[in-house]
């Protein structure tokens, strides 16, 4: 392949694309805004699905390495009501199709699989522009630029590459999460640890709830979910951790103490995370020399598909480019025409899952989904 490949964003999608291209002997350069691989914590647990994330890792030649990262027992699922009563409890018997790994470890595995200097750290994109004939210029915050014949935006919700293709911008979905961690929970937070169990906890009611995952070393990673306007969260001073925690916990005053402890007893400052989505049918006309993958292309309601779809997009794009090394436009067309309906279907399913989590029938619709053997979100 003679066209130079420039990838913006060293998340799971961008790195998977670089790795799949590397497997096929195609070099690529990844530009990432963060200063280093350890500049920030890389999220929590991910369930890697057998019909998306796992095939992507197979295409990257990393299945064995991935299996070495799997945390056994974490596919266990527990659903509680607001009083703390267990409504659904499924153990991890080892037969599930969505093994759990830590996002940070998965990202590091991908980084370790790439040639040195593939990722250029500390390159925050400030703008992009078309130069004609399929070439594009990327400008970084320090004023430097790079010109490329194939530009891939793997730069997430607020992609700086997306405007080359689409005027769409993510919109707030009416719900935010507040994130916190509890460390050494079995010893220091035993009630919360018991409530969460060995894997994932869902304690839900219409418009609100607690999600939590058991990570390594007794760490609980918790998310408090609230359907409130952005202004409601803006009125909370999150620089005052104690006051912010108390205000969020107040919304669950009649919930079981072992559940409210997941926010009230957090060992880290609460972090608000407003949730956004692109239109379900987001797509664009083919523009020579540029495309998108993952959240940059199809940010949707959180439903456990985001990371899996980003990696799957990346693998499919990488394979298409390898199949058409002398005709990148044919590769991009094939990739996008398959990606658009795939992502729209996933976004539609995400809306359905979101309703099961936080709609009027919560949590019973979710229990029915779990009991019916549908894929764990």
Per-residue 3-state assignment (H helix, E strand, C coil) for 153-165: ECCCCCCCCHHHC
Specify the higher pLDDT residue, 236 or 70. 236
What local confidence, expressed as pLDDT, does residue 39 receive? 81
Quote the distance between the C-alpha of residue 366 and its chain's center.
Answer: 21
3-state secondary structure 39-106: CCCCCCEEECCCCCHHHHHHHCCCHHHHHCCCCCCCCCEEEECCCCCEEEEECCCCCCCCCEEEHHHH
pLDDT value at position 372? Answer: 74
Mean pLDDT of the chain: 93
- The total of other beta-carbon atoms located within 10 Å of residue 233's CB is 18
- Nearest one of 219, 212, 213 to 184, comparing CA atoms: 219
Question: Average pLDDT in the 148-173 region?
Answer: 97
Angle ∠(8,10,12) on CA atoms, nearest 5: 120
Under DSSP, is residue 167 helix (H, G, I), strand (E, B) or coil?
coil
- Given a cut of 50, is residue 324 above it in pLDDT? yes
Residue 365 — pLDDT band, cuts 50, 70, 90? confident
CA distance 367 to 169: 33
Look up tokens 């916990």; give the residue: 249
Model pLDDT, residue 156: 96
User: Does pLDDT of 374 surpass 90?
Assistant: no
Is 93 annotated in some ligand binding site? no
- Tell me: the pLDDT tens digits for 55-101? 999 999 999 999 999 888 888 899 999 999 999 998 887 777 788 99
Task: Say how many Å lie between the first and final Cα of the chain, rounded.
Answer: 38
**214 labelled binding-site residue:** no
Instruction: Quote the pLDDT of residue 71.
Output: 87
The H-or-E segment that residue 269 falls in is none
pLDDT band at 375 (very low <50, low <70, confident <90, very high): very low
pLDDT tens-digit series, residues 242-282: 999 999 999 999 999 999 999 999 999 999 999 999 999 99
Highest averaged pLDDT of the listed ranges 34-43, 52-61, 302-311, 348-357 = 52-61
pLDDT band at 377 (very low <50, low <70, confident <90, very high): very low
Report whether pLDDT(373) > 70. Answer: no
Q: In which band, very low, low, confident or very high, does the pLDDT at 173 lie, cut at 50, 70 and 90?
A: very high
How high is the pLDDT of residue 366? 86
pLDDT greater at residue 75 or residue 205? 205
Mean of the pLDDT values across residues 7-22?
A: 98
pLDDT of residue 376 exceeding 60: no
Exposed e or buried b for every residue in 20-44, given b needs 16+ CB within 10 A?
Answer: bbbbeebebbbbbbbeebeeeebbb
Question: Do residues 199 and 75 make contact, with C-beta atoms less than 8 angstroms apart?
Answer: yes
Specify the pLDDT at position 169.
Answer: 96
Q: Which residue has the higher pLDDT, 369 or 288?
A: 288
Q: For 32-58, how does the pLDDT look when each residue is reduced to its tens digit (9 = 90+)?
A: 999 998 887 777 889 999 999 999 999
Asked whether residue 295 is marked as a ligand-binding residue, the answer is: yes
Cα(63)–Cα(45) distance, integer angstroms: 18
Q: What are the residues whose beta carbons fall under 8 Å from the beta carbon of 43, sequence distance 6 or more?
A: 103, 104
Weakest-pLDDT range from 127-131, 302-306, 323-327, 334-338:
302-306
User: What residues have CB less than 8 Å from 310, skipping those under 6 apart?
Assistant: 11, 12, 13, 16, 154, 293, 294, 295
pLDDT at position 172 is: 97
Sign (positive or negative) of CA dihedral 286, 321, 33, 276: positive
Count of Cβ atoms closer than 10 Å to residue 86 Cβ: 11
Q: Is 286 annotated as a binding residue?
A: no
Sign of CA dihedral 82, 92, 307, 303: negative
The pLDDT value given to residue 45? 87
If you ran DSSP here, which 8-state letter would residue 214 be given?
Answer: E
pLDDT at 199: 92
């Amino acid at each position: 392949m003679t066209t130079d490949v420039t990838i913006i964003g060293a998340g799971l999608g961008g790195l998977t694309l670089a790795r799949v291209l590397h497997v096929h002997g195609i070099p690529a350069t990844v530009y990432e805004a963060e200063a280093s691989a350890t500049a920030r914590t890389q999220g929590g647990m991910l369930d890697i699905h057998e019909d998306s994330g796992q095939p992507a890792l197979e295409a990257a030649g990393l299945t064995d390495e991935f299996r070495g990262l799997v945390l056994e027992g974490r596919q266990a699922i527990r659903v509680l009501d607001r009083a703390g009563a267990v409504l659904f409890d499924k153990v991890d018997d080892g037969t599930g199709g969505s093994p759990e790994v830590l996002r940070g470890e998965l990202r590091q595995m991908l980084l370790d699989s790439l040639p040195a200097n593939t990722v250029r750290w500390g390159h925050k994109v400030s703008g992009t522009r078309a130069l004609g004939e399929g070439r594009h210029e990327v400008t970084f915050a320090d004023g430097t630029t790079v010109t490329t014949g194939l530009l891939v935006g793997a730069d997430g919700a607020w992609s700086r590459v997306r405007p080359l293709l689409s005027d769409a911008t993510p919109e707030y979905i009416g719900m935010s999460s507040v994130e916190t961690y509890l460390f050494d929970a079995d010893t220091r937070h035993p009630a919360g640890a018991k409530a969460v169990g060995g894997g994932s906890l869902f304690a839900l009611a219409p418009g609100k709830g607690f999600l939590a995952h058991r990570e390594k070393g007794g760490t609980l990673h918790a998310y408090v979910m609230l359907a409130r306007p952005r202004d409601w969260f803006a009125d909370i001073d999150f620089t005052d951790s104690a006051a912010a925690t108390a205000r969020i916990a107040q919304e669950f005053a009649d919930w079981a103490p072992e559940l409210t402890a997941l926010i009230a007893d957090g060992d880290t400052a609460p972090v608000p995370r407003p949730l956004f989505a692109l239109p379900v049918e987001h797509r664009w006309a083919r523009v020579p020399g540029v495309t998108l993958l993952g959240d940059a292309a199809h940010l949707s309601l959180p439903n456990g598909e985001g990371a899996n779809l980003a990696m799957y997009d990346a693998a499919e794009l990488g394979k298409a480019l390898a199949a058409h090394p002398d005709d990148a436009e044919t590769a991009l067309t094939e990739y996008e025409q398959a990606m658009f309906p795939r992502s729209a279907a996933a976004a539609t399913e995400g809306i359905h899952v979101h309703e099961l989590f936080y709609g009027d029938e919560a949590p019973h619709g979710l229990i029915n989904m779990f009991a019916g053997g549908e894929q764990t979100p």
